[in-house]
Structure formats: structure tokens, C-alpha cells
Structure 1
């Protein structure tokens, strides 16, 4: 199994609540990025931001909502499921491969979430074009506007874009 497939499998297991998420991975890797990701959320005018990391079978997750509240691991998953009530599974089927690509390249898996009106698509540079039935949000940028200088072999964040308004 390739590294990307192992990462995708770990993400899917965590998202399906078949394995606990790692508090230590969150504390060691994701916690340091909280302020920068929160600033990215504001700068990109996203409605929420999802960040995931998988390392050696462990998974950690961060969700920052539009009010700037940060949710960790299982609390982040519960909040995301409430936000995407009708479209969670469909959205995750689209997101997991993108997040896995990012993580396998040594980056954090990050997605800026935009709420869109029903029937509206989101198209732009570094943006996934999604057409889903069900509740918004169904459009997200996969590379939020945030950069970081990685230390050691820490994950990197992409710099770049946001979904159009």
C-alpha cells in the first residue's frame, strides 16, 4: 500500500469514528499552527477551516469556525458533521483524496470552507469544483492563503488562494 493510500485509510478510519484521534499528534504538530490558520481564515474570508494530519497511523484534526473558535480532534469532527449534516459523507469523499495528497507531500491537509447558495459552484485557482446535492457548504479552497517556515521535518502549509466570493 502506498503512503498516500495509508494516509487516506487513516483519515477515513478517523472520520468514520473507527479509531480515536491523537491528542499528542495535535499537541506536537497542529497546535503550533492554530494562530496562523486562524489568521488565514480571516484573510481568505472563509467561513470555516479544516486541517488534518496523519502520521504513522495517528490522525489529528482541527476545525476553526467562522467565529474563530478552534475545535480539536473528536470535537472538530462532531462540529463538522453538524455543519455538513446532509453532505458530510459526500464532501469527505471529495476531500480525503485532496488532504491525502497534501499530507503525503509533507504538507498539512488544509481546506478553507465557503458557504455557498444552493445551485452555485465554486471555481477558481487551486479550488475544487464541486457539484453536490444537499446543504452548503459544498465548496472549498484546498490551499488557503497561509505560509509557514517549517522547522525540522514538520508539515508545511500551502500559500495561495481562496475560493471566489
Structure 2
């Protein structure tokens, strides 16, 4: 049941332009930026993003290859820009995994490689 509740919160934050919490970003995500950036470089990802939920609040961070860090709504907007037409589809596919990991008290983190399509 916890996973379903988290999925609803993530859906609101990521697909319905819901508000995200700066304080939650600072509390749970900010300290991991350097670690995730090192993983991004090692894996040769184009960007990495992480999502968390706590007490009904959601936060996210997106780290780009040049170490630009975007938080919450700015991160969501950049992810949407990167994925363009596939943003909604990709998030809907990822939501169950995100919710499960968060319900298991693990931060959801994923690195992404992009393919240039003309």
C-alpha cells in the first residue's frame, strides 16, 4: 500500500506539475551530488536524476554531464526537455520502479544516455 501512495505522489509531482519541496532536496539529495556525478562520469551517462519522497513531499535533482545541478521543478522541466515527446511515457514506465524503491527506503537514482535523433 505504501508503494501505491508514493506512486500517486510521484504522479502528481512529475506528471501533473505538482509542487516539490526544496527542504526535502536539501535533507535527502543534496549530500549525494558529488557521488552521483562521479557515477555519471564513470558510466558515461548524459545525465543522472534522483527522486525521493518523505512524509508526502517529493523532491528531485538532475545532474548534467557538465555538473550543472537542477532541483525540483527546474529538474522536471529539463528532464521533460531532454525526453521531449517521450517524457510522459517514460515517467509512467518508471513510476512503479520509483515507488517500489522509495517504499523500500531507497532513493531512486538513474543515469541516462541519450540518442540523438534527427
Q: Which residue of 1 aligns with 2:30?
A: 31
* Cα offsets for 1:7-66 (capped at 9, x unmatched): 111111001244210011011111111111111111111111010001111000000122
Q: Which residue of 1 aligns with 2:9?
A: 10
Aligned residue for 2:60, secondary structure, equals strand
More helix per residue: 2
Aligned residue for 2:85, secondary structure, equals coil
Aligned residue for 2:30, secondary structure, equals helix
Aligned residue for 1:96, secondary structure, equals helix
TM-fit CA distance, 1:117: 6.1
What is the correspondence of 1:1-165 to structure 2 with a 5 Å cutoff?
Answer: 2-116=1-115
Runs of 4 or more, structure 1, over 4 Å off, are: none
**Matched-pair contact (CA < 8 Å) for 2:15–2:88:** no
* Cα offsets for 1:59-110 (capped at 9, x unmatched): 0000012222110001101111111111001100111111111111111011
Aligned residue for 2:50, secondary structure, equals strand
Tell me the TM-score normalised to structure 2 length.
0.93
CA root-mean-square deviation: 1.5
Determine the C-alpha separation between the residues in 2 that align with 1:4 and 1:94.
Answer: 15
Tell me the TM-score normalised to structure 1 length.
0.67
How many residues align? The count is 118
**Structure 1 unaligned blocks of 5 or more:** 119-134, 136-165
| Alignment CA distance shift 1:4-1:64 (3 Å) | same
Q: Which residue of 2 aligns with 1:157?
A: none
